[in-house]
Structure formats: structure tokens, C-alpha cells
């Protein structure tokens, strides 16, 4: 078990600032997922933890030990890469035991640890095969097994499933989650896939341009996004963000929104610009909705168990997600509790 702490970490490549004043405390036994768009610094952070990249400023602690200048082999971390990084001329057993041989561990200890890892990952029958004889999912299991044999304090995963097909990614997500529950070791997982983040994480760290936008549990991130960036980054399709213009304003606390007069006593709409956010899944076709409007349907995507419906209303382009068994007749509805309000800078306002 280990905790990890970032204290004012900065990293640049030339004039390109990658990480800016990064501060975070990772808890013991936590599955921490770093997510954000390409180039936001996710993998760089992982490499700095592993010691593969030097930091410019700040401190990184593992179990309260400063590791800034500690050699990678002394940090008790193990990294699983996107590309598997298996030696093609070695069989599975040799790949999984390679790190232990470099550390000059006794043969019986190597045998025991490899067999334990192989049993956990259900790859005992693959130990004599070469990487070229394995499927993508099997190769990834071998890469994870090689990390397990090191018995690290912290597992580091750098987009390990991005090379797999959709079905195999779903299968491997379950396997990694089971692995974490079984071995109770800290895991820090980098991905750009929100489904992986939401299903695997104890806590999610959303990054943008080297800065933390929000840290929270999957439920907190989904239900209480701190700003528009977070609100639209989590959720598929992304949250509808609709600007309130002067034409929408009825009074300081009342707006005309999608043919409905909506009063929000805690907000003065005359003071600044505001944005209304509604997730596609929060629209419905029920007659019990507080507010209703007539949509102009432009496109329907049938996904089997649900439909994504693209509509146009008052110059707004809106996406709606409903169960496939439901059909839009005349109106679409929504409720006040499902509305998010953001200020002119994109910051969430508690309405």
C-alpha cells in the first residue's frame, strides 16, 4: 500500500508548458484515473512518477518519501504501456520474469511469482508461447502480469486498452477492476476514454492544458461538474450547452427557455451572460415533465437499446437520448432539477 503526493509540479518541453502547478494527494489502495484530451499532460505525469521524465519544479512523494532524484528501479512502481513492450524473442514466462532476473532474484522466487501472476490473469497455459502467438488481449495480460511480479507499491497504466477492439476493451476493463480488488494496490490509470474512467475509477482527475479542472468520484464528476469543460467531457453525447441571450430574459430572475418561462430566484440574468446545460439523457417524452416544447427532428441514430435524436429549436442544436422503446410524438420534456447553469466564464453556478 502506498500514497502519492504531487506538490507544485511543473513540466515543460522547451517553451511548451505541459504541467502547471500540479497538486494532488492520491490515497492508499486507490484506483486513480487521469483523463483529458490529447496533449493535456496525462502520460507525462505518469512518466514523472515512474522516473522516466524529470520534473522542472515541485516535488513528488511516494509514501512520504521524496522521489524526485530517486532512480526508477528504486521507486517500487511498475508501468504497463499502450504498446505492451514485450520482447518478441522471449516466451511469456521469460517476459514476465525478466525484471526479476535483472534484480537477481532466486529462481524459486521467480517461479513462484510468475505462476501466481499467471493464475490471477488466467494465462497459465500461455507461458511457453511467444508474443506473436498471442492475441492483443493476451499480450496485454502478459504485460500486466510482468508488472504484478514486481510486487510494486504503485501500478501505472498508460492507455493500456487503446489498441484493443471495443469488445475486448470492455472485457479487459472488468479484468483490471477485478485485479485491483484482488491485490489491493494503488493504481494510476491514464486514458482519454470516459467509459474507462467512469467504470474503473475510485476518483477521477480531469486535466486540461496541464491543469486540474476537477477531482472527484465518478458520481460527483457526472452529477456536479465544476465547469462547462468537465460537464461536456463526461457523458455521451456531451451535455447540451445553450447560451441565454437578451432575447431570452423576461426579468432579472426569469427566462424564456425552449417555450417555457423558467424562474430561478438565486440568479440575476441581467448582470452577466449565462449558459444553460442539459444532458441528453435528462430529456424525456413523459407528460409528467415540468416543462415541454415541440422539437424539429433532424436526425435519429438507433443504437439498439437507445436512440440519439438530434433536434433544432430556436437556433439551438440539441441532442437527446431516450430508450428505443419510446417515440417522440409531439413534445419533449425536461425538469428544473436537471438544468445546470454556468456563468460567462464557464463556471458552474448552484441554481
State pLDDT tens for residues 209-246. 999 999 999 999 999 999 999 999 999 999 999 999 88
**Edge-to-edge, what's the strand order for the sheet holding 249-251?**
249-251, 254-257, 260-263
Provide the pLDDT for residue 1. Answer: 64
C-alpha cell recorded at residue 14: 522547451
Is the same domain home to 193 and 121? yes
pLDDT value at residue 175: 87
Domain contains 67? yes
Considering the entire predicted model, what is its pTM? 0.90
Question: Is the separation of the CB atoms in 120 and 181 below 8 Å?
Answer: no
Domain-embedded: residue 351 = no
**Are 200 and 102 found together in one domain?**
yes
Establish how many alpha carbons lie within 13 A of residue 179's alpha carbon, considering only the half-sphere containing its beta carbon. 25
CA distance 219 to 217: 5
Q: Which of 189, 205, 232 is the last residue of a domain?
A: 232
Is residue 121 domain-shared with residue 250, that is, in the same domain? no
Q: Where are the alpha helices (DSSP H) in 122-192?
A: 136-149, 166-183
pLDDT value, residue 91: 94
Q: Is residue 27 part of a domain?
A: yes
Pick the last residue of a domain from 214, 232, 250.
232
- State pLDDT tens for residues 73-127: 889 899 988 887 899 999 999 999 998 898 889 999 999 999 999 988 889 999 9
Residue 9 located in a structural domain: yes
pLDDT at 4: 94
Whether residue 254 sits in one domain with residue 228: no
DSSP 324: T
Please indicate, yes or no, whether residues 18 and 86 belong to a single structural domain of this protein: yes
How much is the pLDDT for 351?
A: 61
Q: Do 208 and 133 fall within a single domain?
A: yes
Q: Which residue's C-alpha cell is 511457453?
A: 128
CATH number at residue 315: 2.40.50.140
Q: Is residue 201 part of a domain?
A: yes
Domain encompassing residue 170: 4-232
Same domain, 163 and 251: no
In a domain, 15, yes or no: yes
Choosing from 232, 261, 283, the residue where a domain stops is 232
Report residues of the chain scoring pLDDT below 70: 1, 351
pLDDT at position 151 is 85
Q: Are residue 32 and residue 160 in the same domain, yes or no?
A: yes
Q: How many domains does the chain have?
A: 2
**Tell me, what's the pLDDT at 247?**
86
Q: Do 214 and 92 fall into the same domain? A: yes
Check whether residue 223 and residue 264 sit in a common domain.
no
pLDDT of residue 99: 87
Do residues 152 and 288 both lie within one domain?
no
Cα 127 from chain centroid (whole Å): 32
Is residue 148, in this structure, part of any structural domain at all?
A: yes
In the block, cell 425552449 appears at 258
- 172: CATH: 3.40.50.300
Assess contact for 173 and 14: CB atoms under 8 A. no
Are 143 and 59 part of one and the same domain?
Answer: yes
Q: Is the dihedral of CA 240, 192, 212, 148 positive or negative?
A: positive
Amino acid at each position: 500500500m502506498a500514497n502519492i503526493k504531487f506538490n507544485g509540479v511543473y513540466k515543460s518541453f522547451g517553451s511548451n508548458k505541459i504541467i502547471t502547478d500540479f497538486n494532488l494527494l492520491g490515497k492508499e489502495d486507490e484506483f486513480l484515473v487521469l483523463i483529458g484530451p490529447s496533449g493535456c499532460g496525462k502520460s507525462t505525469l505518469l512518466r514523472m512518477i515512474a522516473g522516466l521524465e524529470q520534473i522542472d519544479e515541485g516535488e513528488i512523494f511516494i509514501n512520504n518519501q521524496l522521489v524526485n532524484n530517486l532512480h526508477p528501479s528504486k521507486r517500487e512502481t511498475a508501468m504497463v504501456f499502450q504498446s505492451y513492450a514485450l520482447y518478441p524473442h522471449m516466451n511469456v514466462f521469460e517476459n514476465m520474469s525478466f525484471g526479476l532476473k535483472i534484480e537477481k532474484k532466486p529462481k524459486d522466487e521467480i517461479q513462484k511469482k510468475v505462476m501466481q501472476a499467471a493464475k490471477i490473469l488466467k494465462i497459465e497455459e500461455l507461458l511457453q508461447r511467444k508474443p506473436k502467438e498471442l492475441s492483443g488481449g493476451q499480450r496485454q495480460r502478459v504485460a500486466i502480469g510482468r508488472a504484478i511480479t514486481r510486487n510494486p507499491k504503485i501500478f501505472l497504466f498508460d492507455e493500456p486498452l487503446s489498441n484493443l477492439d471495443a469488445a475486448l476493451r470492455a472485457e479487459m476493463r472488468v479484468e483490471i477492476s477485478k485485479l485491483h480488488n484482488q491485490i489491493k494496490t494503488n493504481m494510476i490509470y491514464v486514458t482519454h476514454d470516459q467509459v474507462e474512467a467512469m467504470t474503473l475509477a475510485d476518483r477521477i482527475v480531469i486535466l486540461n492544458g496541464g491543469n486540474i479542472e476537477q477531482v472527484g468520484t465518478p458520481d460527483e464528476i457526472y452529477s456536479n461538474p465544476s465547469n462547462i469543460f468537465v460537464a461536456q467531457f463526461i457523458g455521451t453525447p456531451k451535455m447540451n450547452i445553450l447560451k441565454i441571450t437578451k432575447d431570452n430574459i423576461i426579468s432579472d430572475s426569469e427566462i424564456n427557455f425552449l417555450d417555457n418561462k423558467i424562474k430561478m430566484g438565486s440568479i440575476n440574468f441581467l448582470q452577466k451572460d449565462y449558459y444553460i446545460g442539459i444532458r441528453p439523457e435528462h430529456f424525456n417524452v413523459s407528460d409528467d415533465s415540468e416543462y415541454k416544447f415541440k422539437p424539429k427532428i433532424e436526425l435519429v441514430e438507433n443504437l439498439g437499446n437507445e436512440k440519439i435524436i438530434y433536434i433544432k429549436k430556436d437556433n439551438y442544436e440539441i441532442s437527446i437520448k431516450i430508450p428505443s422503446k419510446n417515440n417522440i410524438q409531439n413534445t419533449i420534456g425536461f425538469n428544473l432539477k436537471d438544468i445546470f447553469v454556468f456563468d460567462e466564464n464557464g463556471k458552474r453556478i448552484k441554481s
